[in-house]
Structure 1
Amino acid sequence: MTTPAHLRLGDLLRVGDTLYELVGIDGSAALLATADGRITAIKVATLLGDPTFEIVSSAPRRRRLVPTYFDALPPRIRERAVWLEAHVTEVLDGIPLAENDTGAAPRPEYDITRTTLRQRERAKIGELARSDRPMSLQVFQRYRRRYAATGLAALIDKRPVRRTSPTGRVDERYVDALHHALAENTTASTGTATRLKRAVDRAVRAEHGDDTVPIPSQQTFNRLLGRLREARHATGSAHTRRTLAHQPGTPFGTVVATRPGEWMQIDSTPFDVALRLDEEVSGRVELTALVDAATRTIAAAVLRPTTRAVDASLLLAKAMTPEPMRPGWPQAVSMACSALPYRVLRRVDDRLEHAAARPVIVPETIVYDHGSVYLSSTFRNACRTFGINAQPAHEDTPTDKPIIERTLESVKTLFAQYVTGYLGASVEHRGTHPDRQAVFSLVEVQDLLDEWIVTHWQNRPHDGLRDPLNPQRVLTPNEKYAALLAVAGYVPVQLSPEDYIALLPATPRVINSYGIKINHRVYDSDELNRYRGQLSGPTALGTRWQVHYDPYDVTRIWVRNHRDGGFLLAYWRQLHAMPQPFGDAAWEHARRIVADRGESTPSEETIKAAVDDLLDRAGPPPPPHPRRKRRTKTAQDRRVAARTRAATAAPTPIPEAPPAAAMFAPEDAEDVADIVPLPVFDADKESRTWW
Structure 2
Amino acid sequence: MTDAGEQTQAARQDRLAPGVRLRWQGGTYRVLALQGPEVQLGCLDKHGHDARALVAAVVGAEDYALLNEDNTAVLPAATVPDTSGLSLLTEEQRRLVRDWERHLIEIDDGVPPDAPAGTVPRPGYDPQYFTVRQRLTAKAAELKALGFASASPGTVERRRRAYRARGVFGLIRETVPGSPWGRTDERVVKLLLAEIKAGRYESDGYGSRLYERLQAAVRNAHPGEYEALMISPATFYRLLKRLGIGVDSLRWSTERRMDSTVGPVAPYTPTRALRLGEQVQIDSTGLDILAVGDDGRVVQVELTAAIDVASRSIIGAMIVPKTPGRGPRGRRLGGRATRSFDAVLMLAQALAPMPGRPGWPVLAYAEHSEMPYTDLVACDPRIAGAAARPVIRPRTVVVDHGKIFNSEHFGDVCRMLGIDVRPARVRTPTDKAIIESTFSAIKKRFGQHVAGYTGSDLARRGKHVADQVLWSLNELQDLLDEWIALDWQQTPHDGLRSPFLPGLAISPNRMYATLVAAEGHVPVPLSAHHNRKLLPFVRVKVTDKGVKINNRTYNSAQLQDYKDRHTGLAGQGMRWQIRYNPYAPRYAWLYDHREDDWVQAEFIHQRLIADAWTQWTWEAATLSVIEDGGTEEDQRRIARAVSELREKARHGPEPLHPPRVPELFTGPKLDLAIPEADPYAGMPDPDPDTVVRAPALTGHTTHLIAAGDTVAPHPPAPARPSGGGQRPNLSDAAPDGVQEHCVRPDLEDSAHPGPPDAPGPVTSDDESEDADGNVEHPGPPQAGAFSLRGSAADIFGCARPTPPPPEPGSGTTQPDGPHHDNGDAR
Shorter-chain TM-score range? 0.5 to 0.7
- Are 1:182 and 2:199 counterparts? yes
- Are 1:294 and 2:313 counterparts? no
- Are 1:533 and 2:564 counterparts? yes
- Are 1:372 and 2:403 counterparts? yes
- Are 1:490 and 2:507 counterparts? no
Tell me what 1:582 maps to: 613
TM-aligned CA distance change 1:357 to 1:563, over 3 Å: same
- Are 1:272 and 2:322 counterparts? no
- What's the CA shift for 1:353? 2.0
Tell me what 2:16 maps to: none
Question: Which of 73, 85, 88 is residue 88 of structure 2 equivalent to?
Answer: 73
* Residues 70 and 78, structure 1, Cα contact 8 Å, conserved in 2: no
* Residues 584 and 615, structure 2, Cα contact 8 Å, conserved in 1: yes
How many residue pairs are counted as aligned between the two chains? 516
Question: Which of 562, 575, 579 is residue 544 of structure 1 equivalent to?
Answer: 575
Alignment of structure 1 residues 623-634 onto 2, 5 Å: none
Alignment of structure 1 residues 559-574 onto 2, 5 Å: 559-574=590-605
CA distance in 2, matches of 1:352, 1:417: 31
CA distance in 2, matches of 1:535, 1:363: 38
- Are 1:281 and 2:300 counterparts? no
Q: Give the counterpart letter for 2:507 in structure 1.
A: T
CA distance in 2, matches of 1:308, 1:427: 25
CA distance in 1, matches of 2:486, 2:419: 29
SS in structure 1 of the partner of residue 570 of structure 2: coil
- Are 1:424 and 2:455 counterparts? yes
Larger helix proportion, structure 1 or 2?
1
CA distance in 2, matches of 1:479, 1:413: 23
Tell me what 1:307 maps to: 338
Alignment of structure 1 residues 162-177 onto 2, 5 Å: 162=181, 164-165=183-184
Tell me what 2:421 maps to: 390
* Residues 281 and 306, structure 2, Cα contact 8 Å, conserved in 1: yes
Tell me what 1:21 maps to: none
Q: Give the counterpart letter for 1:555 in structure 2.
A: R
Question: Which of 251, 254, 271 is residue 235 of structure 1 equivalent to?
Answer: 251
TM-aligned CA distance change 1:342 to 1:508, over 3 Å: same
- Are 1:256 and 2:267 counterparts? no
CA distance in 2, matches of 1:598, 1:447: 39
* Residues 349 and 492, structure 1, Cα contact 8 Å, conserved in 2: yes
TM-aligned CA distance change 1:72 to 1:614, over 3 Å: same
Q: Give the counterpart letter for 1:236 in structure 2.
A: W
TM-aligned CA distance change 1:333 to 1:578, over 3 Å: closer
CA distance in 2, matches of 1:497, 1:476: 34
SS in structure 1 of the partner of residue 316 of structure 2: strand
- What's the CA shift for 1:242? 2.6
CA distance in 2, matches of 1:336, 1:524: 46
Relative to structure 2, which stretch is displaced further, 585-594 or 316-325?
A: 585-594
Alignment of structure 1 residues 290-369 onto 2, 5 Å: 290-305=306-321, 306-369=337-400
Tell me what 1:62 maps to: none
CA distance in 1, matches of 2:146, 2:627: 98
* Residues 275 and 438, structure 1, Cα contact 8 Å, conserved in 2: no
* Residues 298 and 453, structure 1, Cα contact 8 Å, conserved in 2: yes
SS in structure 2 of the partner of residue 354 of structure 1: coil
CA distance in 1, matches of 2:484, 2:213: 50
SS in structure 1 of the partner of residue 616 of structure 2: helix
Tell me what 2:468 maps to: 437
CA distance in 2, matches of 1:427, 1:528: 51
* Residues 304 and 343, structure 2, Cα contact 8 Å, conserved in 1: yes
- What's the CA shift for 1:77? 6.9
TM-aligned CA distance change 1:81 to 1:469, over 3 Å: farther
SS in structure 2 of the partner of residue 233 of structure 1: helix
SS in structure 2 of the partner of residue 321 of structure 1: coil
TM-aligned CA distance change 1:232 to 1:484, over 3 Å: farther
* Residues 206 and 247, structure 2, Cα contact 8 Å, conserved in 1: no
SS in structure 2 of the partner of residue 374 of structure 1: coil
- What's the CA shift for 1:336? 2.6
Tell me what 2:552 maps to: 521
TM-aligned CA distance change 1:484 to 1:157, over 3 Å: same
TM-aligned CA distance change 1:259 to 1:328, over 3 Å: same
- What's the CA shift for 1:355? 2.0
- What's the CA shift for 1:338? 2.0
- What's the CA shift for 1:266? 0.8
CA distance in 1, matches of 2:403, 2:412: 14
Tell me what 1:675 maps to: none
Tell me what 2:478 maps to: 447
CA distance in 2, matches of 1:308, 1:155: 60
Tell me what 1:557 maps to: 588
CA distance in 2, matches of 1:300, 1:354: 18
Considering Cα pairs closer than 8 Å and 6+ residues apart, tell me whether 1 or 2 has the greater RCO: 1
- What's the CA shift for 1:618? 7.3
- What's the CA shift for 1:477? 0.8
- Per-residue deviation, residues 247-278 of structure 1 (Å, max 9, x unmatched): 47797765421111110011111111111236
* Residues 274 and 438, structure 1, Cα contact 8 Å, conserved in 2: no
Tell me what 1:475 maps to: 506
Tell me what 2:51 maps to: none
- What's the CA shift for 1:197? 5.8
Could you tell me which runs of 5 or more consecutive residues in structure 2 were left unpaired when the two chains were aligned.
Answer: 1-79, 104-112, 123-143, 149-155, 322-336, 655-826
CA distance in 1, matches of 2:303, 2:170: 63
* Residues 594 and 602, structure 1, Cα contact 8 Å, conserved in 2: no
- What's the CA shift for 1:512? 1.9
Tell me what 1:244 maps to: 260
TM-aligned CA distance change 1:398 to 1:539, over 3 Å: same
CA distance in 2, matches of 1:621, 1:429: 28
- Per-residue deviation, residues 446-486 of structure 1 (Å, max 9, x unmatched): 11111111111111121221357755321211111122223
* Residues 197 and 221, structure 1, Cα contact 8 Å, conserved in 2: no
- What's the CA shift for 1:299? 0.6
**Alignment TM-score, normalising by the size of structure 1:** 0.63
Q: Give the counterpart letter for 1:165 in structure 2.
A: T
- What's the CA shift for 1:602? 3.1
- Per-residue deviation, residues 133-177 of structure 1 (Å, max 9, x unmatched): xx99899xx9xx99x9999959996634646438897996xx599
CA distance in 1, matches of 2:89, 2:610: 80
* Residues 83 and 168, structure 2, Cα contact 8 Å, conserved in 1: no
CA distance in 1, matches of 2:185, 2:519: 52
Alignment of structure 1 residues 17-96 onto 2, 5 Å: 67=82, 69=84, 72-74=87-89, 76=91
**Alignment TM-score, normalising by the size of structure 2:** 0.54
CA distance in 1, matches of 2:653, 2:434: 50
TM-aligned CA distance change 1:75 to 1:352, over 3 Å: farther
State, as a whole percentage, how many aligned pairs show the same letter: 35
TM-aligned CA distance change 1:427 to 1:72, over 3 Å: farther
SS in structure 2 of the partner of residue 553 of structure 1: coil
* Residues 525 and 571, structure 1, Cα contact 8 Å, conserved in 2: yes
Q: Give the counterpart letter for 2:404 in structure 1.
A: V
- What's the CA shift for 1:394? 1.9
* Residues 77 and 156, structure 1, Cα contact 8 Å, conserved in 2: no
- Per-residue deviation, residues 374-433 of structure 1 (Å, max 9, x unmatched): 122222222122111111222222221111111011100011101112111111221112
